[in-house]
Amino acid sequence: MNLPELSRPIAITPGDPCGIGPEIIARAWCIAPELTRGCFVAGDVGLMRRAMALVQPSVSYPVCEIETPAQALVVPPRCLPVLQVVPVLPEMPWGQVDGRAGQLAGEAVLWATRAALRGEVAALVTAPLHKEALHAAGAPYDQYPGHTELLQAESARYAGVKLAQMPVRMMLANNELRTVLVSIHVSMREALDAITVDRVLETLRITQSALSALLSRRPRIAVAGVNPHAGEGGLFGREEIEVLQPAMSRARQEGLDVHGPFAPDTVFMRARQKPGIQREFDVVVAMYHDQGLIPVKYLGVEQGVNVTLGLPLIRTSPDHGTAMDVAGQGRADASSMVQAIRMARQLVAGKAHGEA
């Protein structure tokens, strides 16, 4: 897919300064210079210079400080622009959990989220946070399990609505498979309680809106069942009959192209894109976190992208954590970060096409 030039820049947050986030961003600039044109890091200049030296110790790209997001669109080629949006960082050791790192990571995300909500940036790509470091940072960051909840809360505040009026969903995607989750970071017991007609219907609507922008057409949506064999006509559970089918019927009345519910152990194969074989469905709506994430990650976590759906902004992220055990060694794989940037640009282009 040929991506058009950006009219507004894309902000990338470095994630936890002690993790692999800064390193994979620097590596992405080195291996995908055309893709990263028009992007900038909202973080700390010194941190990104350390990361770039780690990735390319002999012929590193220059790291330049910019004064406004718009300047990212006009920096010279082969240059990584950084906007200093946090206090200048002390040099912290790679691979260690530190509350100071959690605080500065959270501050960068808040700045970038607010910039996106104000329309100063076209999209937000977030490198991984460390949940323990975020919690150690204290208020307000300790109230958020991760990026998704922080972005949702800030977007709701900006819109002046209650949190429940800003529903969000997680989509995990790679080159072969896309899946959207009905529930995210809750216990299995809570996840089963979250499978209601209204919540499933809301998930289908959010999925329809997001994938229409990405694909420039109405997506074919498959729904995974809750129970083995999708309940086998009620023999193994009645959620498919009493919850999923009514939700899907209402979705079809609204014009959504929805199919299922299908047996969870086979539906992902039918939605997988393989060489020479057209996928049957564009996306699978999964009922809970691990049901949807295991198949995507099995196909290649290094290529996975996390997309937050339902927000009034575009946000993507690599589908992996901070990898403290390899941070600072110059060998972290940037493939997922590259794909996250690519996905953000695709969503920006799709949104612009839809508004044209």
Query: 124 near 85, Cβ under 8 Å?
Result: no
- Is the omega angle on the peptide bond into residue 4 within 30 degrees of 0, that is, cis? no
Mean pLDDT score, 11-35: 95
In 3-state terms, what secondary structure has residue 5?
coil
Please tell me the number of Cα atoms within 13 Å of 194 on its side-chain side: 18
For residues 143 and 50, state if they share a domain: yes
Q: What band does 2 get if pLDDT is binned at 50, 70 and 90?
A: low
Is pTM beyond 0.85? Reply is yes
| Structural domain of 350 | 1-167+311-356
- Residue 1: pLDDT over 60: no
Please give the structure tokens belonging to residue 84: 């200093």
Is there a single domain that holds both residue 274 and residue 339? Answer: no
Instruction: Kindly state the tokens that stand for 243.
Output: 């919850």
Total domain count, the chain? 2
305 with 320: CB under 8 angstroms?
A: no
Are 63 and 128 within one domain?
yes
Q: Is residue 305 part of a domain?
A: no
- The model's pLDDT over 86-140, given as tens digits with 9 standing for 90+, comes to 999 999 999 999 999 999 999 999 999 999 999 999 999 999 999 999 999 998 8
Within a domain: 28: yes
Nearest to 335 by CA among 347, 325, 323, 350: 323
In a domain, 306, yes or no: no
Peptide bond into 246 cis (omega under 30): no
Instruction: Provide the strand spans (E) within the chain.
Output: 10-13, 39-43, 63-66, 80-84, 123-126, 169-173, 178-181, 220-224, 257-262, 283-286, 305-309, 315-318
Query: What CATH number does residue 188 fall under?
Result: 3.40.718.10
- Residues with Cβ within 8 Å of 325's Cβ and at least 6 positions away in sequence, in order, are 95
Query: Which amino acid makes up residue 38?
Result: G
Same domain, 27 and 110: yes
Are residues 152 and 187 located together in one domain of the fold?
no
Q: What percent of the chain has pLDDT over 70?
A: 96
pLDDT at res. 141: 87
Same domain, yes or no, for 228 and 163? no
Encode pLDDT of 213-272 as tens digits. Answer: 888 899 999 999 999 998 888 889 999 999 999 999 999 999 999 999 999 999 999 999
- 10-13 β-sheet, strand order: 63-66, 80-84, 39-43, 10-13, 123-126, 315-318, 305-309, 169-173, 178-181, 283-286, 220-224, 257-262
Tell which wins on pLDDT, 155 or 278. 155
Give a yes or no: residue 107 inside a domain. yes
Residues 6+ apart with CB under 8 A from 32: 338, 341
Q: What is the pLDDT of the chain when averaged over all its residues?
A: 92
For the chain, helix (H) and strand (E) counts, in that order, are 12, 12
Q: CB–CB of 113/24 below 8 Å?
A: no
d(CA 54, CA 69): 25
Kindly state whether residue 304 falls inside one of the protein's structural domains: no
Distance from chain centroid for Cα 175: 15
